[in-house]
Amino acid sequence: MTATLRRALLASAISLAATAAAVAQGVVNVVCVTEEWCEALREPFFAKTGIRMEFLNLRSNESLVRIRAEASNPTFDVFYGGTGDPHFVAAKEGLTVPYASPMLSELAPEMVAAVKGAYLPLYANPIALIVNPKVLEQAGAPLPKSWLDLADPKFKGLIGMADPNSSGTAYTVIATLVQIFGEEKAFEFLAALHQNIANYTKSGSGSLQPTGQGELGVAIIFMASALREKEAGLPIEIIVPEEGTGYEISGISLIKNGPNPEGAKAFIDYALSAEAQDLGTSVGSLQIKANVNATPFPGGPKLEEIKVIDYDFEFYGTPEVQQRLIERWTTQIFPVPR
Helix (H) or strand (E) holding 25: helix 3-25
In terms of phi and psi (left: phi > 0; alpha: psi -120 to 50; beta: otherwise), the region of 284 is: left
9 pLDDT more than 90: no
Which distant-in-sequence residues (6+ apart) come within 8 Å of 320 by Cβ? none
The total number of structural domains that make up the chain: 2
231 lies in the same domain as 262: no
Q: Are 309 and 176 in contact (CB under 8 A)?
A: yes
In terms of phi and psi (left: phi > 0; alpha: psi -120 to 50; beta: otherwise), the region of 65 is: alpha
202 lies in the same domain as 293: no
State how far the Cα of 313 lies from the Cα of 287, in Å rounded to an integer: 18
Q: What HEC string does 79-108 produce?
A: EECCCHHHHHHHHHCCCEECCCCHHHHHEC
Count of H-run helices and E-run strands, the chain? 14, 11
Neighbours of 217 (CB within 10 A): 28
Work out the average pLDDT over 258-265: 97
In a domain, 308, yes or no: no
- The rounded mean pLDDT for the chain is 91
In a domain, 233, yes or no: yes
40 lies in the same domain as 189: no
58 lies in the same domain as 139: no
- pLDDT for 12: 33
24 lies in the same domain as 172: no
7 vs 19, 20, 156, 175, CA distance in Å? 18, 20, 79, 65
In a domain, 306, yes or no: no
8 lies in the same domain as 120: yes
13 lies in the same domain as 152: no
In a domain, 309, yes or no: no
User: Could you tell me where the DSSP H helices lie in 99-239?
Assistant: 109-115, 133-139, 168-181, 183-194, 208-212, 223-231
108 lies in the same domain as 253: yes
- pLDDT for 20: 40
Instruction: Count CA atoms within 13 Å of residue 290 on its CB side.
Output: 29
10 pLDDT more than 50: no
- pLDDT for 300: 79
**Four-residue CA torsion sign, 192, 170, 186, 147:** negative
Q: Are 118 and 192 in contact (CB under 8 A)?
A: no
| The dihedral formed by the CA atoms of 35, 30, 294 and 249, expressed in degrees to the nearest 10 | 80
User: Given pLDDT bands bounded at 50, 70 and 90, which one contains residue 297?
Assistant: confident
328 lies in the same domain as 199: yes
State how far the Cα of 11 lies from the Cα of 13, in Å rounded to an integer: 5
CATH for 184: 3.40.190.10
In a domain, 307, yes or no: no
In a domain, 141, yes or no: yes
37 lies in the same domain as 74: yes
- pLDDT for 25: 57
Q: Are 278 and 50 in contact (CB under 8 A)?
A: no
pLDDT tens-place string over residues 222-243: 999 899 899 889 999 999 999 9
CA 246 and chain centroid, separation: 14
Q: Are 78 and 254 in contact (CB under 8 A)?
A: yes
- pLDDT for 18: 32
Helix (H) or strand (E) holding 5: helix 3-25
Neighbours of 1 (CB within 10 A): 6
In a domain, 338, yes or no: no
pLDDT tens-place string over residues 120-155: 999 999 999 999 999 999 999 999 999 999 999 999
Which residues span the domain enclosing 229? 125-247+322-333
Q: Evaluate if pTM is beyond 0.75.
A: yes
31 lies in the same domain as 155: no
215 lies in the same domain as 285: no
Which residues of the chain form beta strands (DSSP E)?
27-32, 52-57, 78-80, 96-97, 120-131, 159-162, 197-201, 218-222, 237-239, 247-255, 288-289
